[in-house]
Amino acid sequence: MAKYQDYSNGIEPTWCKGCGDFSVLRSLQVAAAELEIPRENLMVVSGIGCSGRISGYMDTYSFHGVHGRVLPIAQGIKLANNDLTVIAAGGDGDGFAIGAGHFIHGTKRNVNMTYIVMNNQIYGLTKGHTSPVSDQGFKTPSTPKGSEDLPLQPGLMSLAAGATFLAQGFSGYQEELIEVIKKGIEHKGFSFINIFSPCITFNKTNTYQWFRKHLTSVSEEEEYNQGDYQGAMKKLLETKGLVTGVLYENKDREKKDEISIKESPMALEREEFQKLFARL
């Protein structure tokens, strides 16, 4: 049996004490251990921001890219080597601001991988600027009079883009978080997991207490149908997105056993070259 510690490289995270990201890191490690993913086959790709550091704490293969580009890099890796379990992770700025186009198109492309957004509704690493999912009126040094616009709604965006798996989690509910991450990894397609991961230093509004008060969960709703697209939309609208659990899964668009590009031979025989030449 694998232990979650096997997936930790022991490096002490740069995160503030109490940061929600610790729980995401631990949950990912537990999920990997419970699914017994061979460490060499676990590929964690991350973006830039506090959350982006997560790949550097995994004792697996890890790639810390540039701001906003976590999804293209992760998709390239997965398409090259289908044996890998690919986890992309980043923050809400990384995924819904600078990388928003990649989020929409990554969802549409439905490559078999998992995308975890550690959503704290603020730019922690730049010391507290507003994010595309900050609430209207949210005051930060870049929005001293309060954020003017309505926040983006990642759950609805992903459904609109053709998501085949949508889940949300909360750093404060670790057991459920582990479960949704496991289900996301097991889903054969692009699984998007939006995790409320509070920033205890700069976001004094969306705190652990605030989430505990406002969040509901579909994990406890027996009659909730995860295959119901409109139901998932409705749930997100009713709860203003403040809901956890697996909200939607479409198994009809599952990716069948795809081959790894990596396995295809590089060198071609003379006859093959002549054939290609004749087709010019």
Partner 1 sequence: MNREIQVLIGGTQGDGILATGIYYLQVLSRMGYHVYGKRHFTSRIKGGNSAIIAYGSVDKKGCPKDDMDIVMALDEDTMEIYTKKLRKRGLLLYDEALELKVDEEFIKGMEIEIISLPITKVVKDKGNMIMKNVCSLGFLTRVTDIEPHYVEAVIVEAFKDKGEKIVEKNKKVLQGAVDYNFTSLKGVNYLIEPVTRKYRGPVIVGNDLIGLGAVMAGCRFMAAYPITPASEVMQYLSEHLPRYGGKVVQTEDELAAINMIIGSSYAGVRSITATSGPGISLMMEGLGLASMAEVPIVVVDAQRKGPSTGLPTKHEQSDLNTLYYGGHGEFPRIILAPATIEDCFYDTIEAFNLAEQYQCPVIIMSDALRSLSYENIEELDFDQITINRGKIMMEEDLEDGTDSFSRYRNTEDHISKRVFPGMKHGFHHTTGLEHGEYGFPIRPKDDQRGLTEKRMNKLEPLEHKKGIRMFQEKANRILFLGYGSTFGVLQQGVKKMDRVVDYGAIKQIKPLPTVQLKKLLEHYDTVVIVENNYTGQLRKIIQAEIGFHHKLDSLLSYNGDGFLIEEIKDKIKELI
Q: By CB under 8 A, name the binding residues for partner 1.
A: 11, 39-41, 43, 45, 55-56, 59-66, 68-69, 71-81, 83-84, 101-102, 104-105, 109, 259, 261-268, 270, 273-274, 276-277, 279-280
> Taking the complex as a whole, how short is the minimal distance between the CB of residue 61 and partner 1, in angstroms?
4
Q: Which is nearer to partner 1, 88 or 180 (CB)?
A: 88
Q: Which is nearer to partner 1, 127 or 262 (CB)?
A: 262
Q: Which is nearer to partner 1, 99 or 151 (CB)?
A: 99
Q: Which is nearer to partner 1, 61 or 210 (CB)?
A: 61
> Taking the complex as a whole, how short is the minimal distance between the CB of residue 107 and partner 1, in angstroms?
11
Token pair of 266, please? 């590089």
Q: Which is nearer to partner 1, 17 or 270 (CB)?
A: 270
> Taking the complex as a whole, how short is the minimal distance between the CB of residue 280 and partner 1, in angstroms?
4
Task: Measure Cα distances from 90 to 77, 224, 279 in Å.
Answer: 16, 29, 45
> Taking the complex as a whole, how short is the minimal distance between the CB of residue 24 and partner 1, in angstroms?
18
**Strand, helix or coil at 261?**
helix
Distance (Å, whole) CA 271 – CA 248:
50
> Taking the complex as a whole, how short is the minimal distance between the CB of residue 173 and partner 1, in angstroms?
30
CB 226 within 8 A of CB 246: yes
> Taking the complex as a whole, how short is the minimal distance between the CB of residue 99 and partner 1, in angstroms?
9
Q: Which helix (H) or strand (E) holds 247?
A: strand 243-249
Which residues, at least 6 apart from 105, have a Cβ–Cβ distance to it below 8 Å? 161
Distance (Å, whole) CA 59 – CA 39:
7
Q: Which is nearer to partner 1, 238 or 258 (CB)?
A: 258
Q: Which is nearer to partner 1, 115 or 138 (CB)?
A: 115
CB 13 within 8 A of CB 48: no
**Exposure pattern of 33-61 as b/e (b: 16+ CB <10 Å)?**
bbeebeeeebbbbbbbbbbbbbbebbebb
- How many CB atoms neighbour CB 226 within 10 A? 18
> Taking the complex as a whole, how short is the minimal distance between the CB of residue 144 and partner 1, in angstroms?
29
Compute the Cα dihedral for 92, 182, 102, 263 and give only its sign.
positive
